[in-house]
A = this chain, B = another copy of it.
């Protein structure tokens, strides 16, 4: 995964409102669905368009999934993607700089 993609996902996560949203969303697509968007807005105490905006950013970063039921839209966390983000970030921090520099050199000289 290129750093730019991972950065976009981390940036999507790096907002207090969006962290609050993630804390309210269910981890799985549940039948007795949790909050619809309006209820989410009520719970957060912020206007609905603002919530939709943040949901869009999280969705475009592939961090949440969505399903429309009747008139409502229900979102839930894309757990596998969350795991990948954490793993990818830790891989960068755990990677030996000298070794990866060597790898980059091997790749670019192919």
Contacts and interface: CB of A to CB of B under 8 A. Distances in A.
Nearest to A98: B34
A66 interface: no
A106 interface: no
Q: How large is the interface on A (under 10, 10 to 19, 20 to 34, 35 or more residues)?
A: 35 or more
A97 B23 contact: yes
Chain A interface SS verdict (over half): helix
8 contacts: A3-B19, A9-B14, A13-B89, A23-B100, A27-B94, A77-B93, A79-B93, A82-B93
Interface of A: 3-4, 6-16, 18-20, 22-27, 34, 77, 79, 82-83, 86, 89-90, 92-98, 100
